[in-house]
Each structure stands twice: as structure tokens, then as C-alpha cells.
Amino acid sequence: MDASTRAEIREFLENKVHDCKVLVIGDVMLDRYFYGNVTRISPEAPVPVNCIEKKKDTLGGAANVAHNLARLGCQVYLSGVIGDDHHGRLLMRKLEKRGIHTDGIICGREKTTTKVRVLGGHQQMMRLDFEETDSIEDSAAKQLQAVIDKITETGLDAVIISDYGKGMCTDEMCQYVIKKAQTEDVPVFVDPKGDKWGKYRGASYITPNVKEAGAVLNCRLANDTEVLRKAAEEIKKRYAVDSVMITRSEKGISVFGRSEITIPTVAQEVFDVSGAGDTVISCFAAAIGMKVYLQAAIEFANFAAGIEVGKVGTYAVSNEEIVVALGNM
């Protein structure tokens, strides 16, 4: 990253990001971690006994995208569906504590999507998922669309669709959001799920990894720039998206749009890649929304993700951490 790019990113973080208004729409989740130690086997069955010593609740799914944006300093609006349950109330308290606008969250499920992870020492022993994956009810969709209309009227700089395949991002909902944003000339960024991408038609940017890009084209793609260039052109043509951003693991990030840019991975020790995609789309969307030039926006997203993967578990990188890290380059 050269000095001029670092200067533009610092200018964005210190003077522009607080004016950035972003709407995140998608599958909101609560991530719960229970940490303990295993010293014996249960006398009741041949299973380890984990003596829990502490627990941690974090925002997951689309809520983690919103959390990343809030930590950058953006004004964040989150829209999704939860259940009227203990997990839903925990999730709402965490969102409100972080200053995320929750008017777009409605109760339209029997249970809030929650992932419970049990760890013994540093080893994950079990994950328990509480979820519903059916498409949201029509009544919930109409309620959400009305809220989205009000949020959009306040003036937005970017919209992110964060699809985790839990039923929020239906064809109708995604197309409603994309067309609404188009009328306001607001860029839409999509973190896709599965291989049915017709619902994302008309988005500004779509951000698959190499495996996801291959899956939607029904092939296995090599992590090679020429191969990915051809894949991106097919995706743009097939789904009428403006640009394709492909995250390439150790080979960095490539964006294929009107121009082509590849940014190599920032060298770091990787502890945990979970949540890195949320960091990338959050930082990139905020930067593009505030008119940061494309290469700087990609380098910013890549740099922030480099910090995120150096942490254990899902982690939202703060504005201050990025500024300090830039200063230490």
C-alpha cells in the first residue's frame, strides 16, 4: 500500500466515515460461545464433561456486518427477522448497545437464529444451531418493505444484502431492495449464498469467494486470475451485476468491473478466518459509498480483513485499530 492510498484511507476514517449511512439487510444471528475445560469423562455416557468457566455473546450473520460498520463509525440501519425469545432479546440489547438502528428488526420467527459453540480449552467441541430456514412470511416481508422505504427516505450511501440462507433474502425481498436502491442511485453490495443468484440481479457489486463463484457456474474454479476473469464476466452477463469482487484467500482480492484490480493479501498470522467476509464487504461498501476511489477501497477492505483474521472468533475491527495499524506500516 503506497503513501497516497494510506493517506486517503486515513482521511476517510478520520473525517468522512461518520457521515456514512448504510442499510444492512439479511439474516441476523446471535453467536454464543461457552468456554471451559475438560478433565474427565462422564459416568453417564462416554462423553467429555466440560466445566464452563465463561461465556461470550456476539453478533453474527448480517448483525456482524452491521457491527463492523458501527465499529468503523458509520450510521448503521439493520433490517431482519428474529423470534420473540431470550436469544432475540439478547441480540436486540447488543445491537442497541452498539448504536445500531433497530427499527428494521421485526419479530416474525418462532426462534432467533443462534449458533452456540462449546469450547474445551481452545478446541471447539460442539456447535448447536437454533434456526428456521423457511422463507419469511408475506406479512413479515410487507412489514419489512414498509420499514425499508422509511429508512431509504432518510438518504443512504450504501445498501448491503447479507445472505446466510436462513430465509430472509427471498427473491422478492432482494429485488425489492435492489430496485428501491436503484431509484435513489444508491450502490447495492451483495454477499451471496447458494447457487440461485437471479434474486441479486441488478446489484452493483457481488462478493463471492472462489468456491462460491465456481458453485454458481456449476464448476470448480482454479484460483487463477485469468480463470476468475472469465468467470466474473459470465457472472456479470448472467446476473446483470456491475462488478464482481472475488476474495481469493492467500492470493488476496480481485475486482472485475469496468476496470480490473487485484490486491495481494496483507501478510499476517492467521488465527481464524470466520467473519473475514463480513469485514471485507462492510469496509468496501462504506468506502465506495463515500466515494473513496476503487483501489483504495479494495486495499482498505483487504487491510481490515488482515487484522480480523489475526483474532480468535468473529471480530469487528475498530476505526482506531485500523488507523494505528496504518501508522505502523
Please list the active-site residues: 278
CA-based end-to-end distance of the chain: 9
What the block records as the C-alpha cell of 87 is: 436469544
Count, in order, helices (H) and strands (E) of the chain.
Answer: 10, 13
Rg (CA), the chain: 20
Taking the C-alpha atoms of residue 275 and residue 250, their distance in angstroms, rounded to an integer, is: 16
3-state secondary structure of 37: strand
In the block, residue with C-alpha cell 472462489: 210
Taking the C-alpha atoms of residue 207 and residue 259, their distance in angstroms, rounded to an integer, is: 16
What the block records as the C-alpha cell of 85 is: 425469545
What the block records as the C-alpha cell of 101 is: 438502528
What the block records as the C-alpha cell of 8 is: 486517503
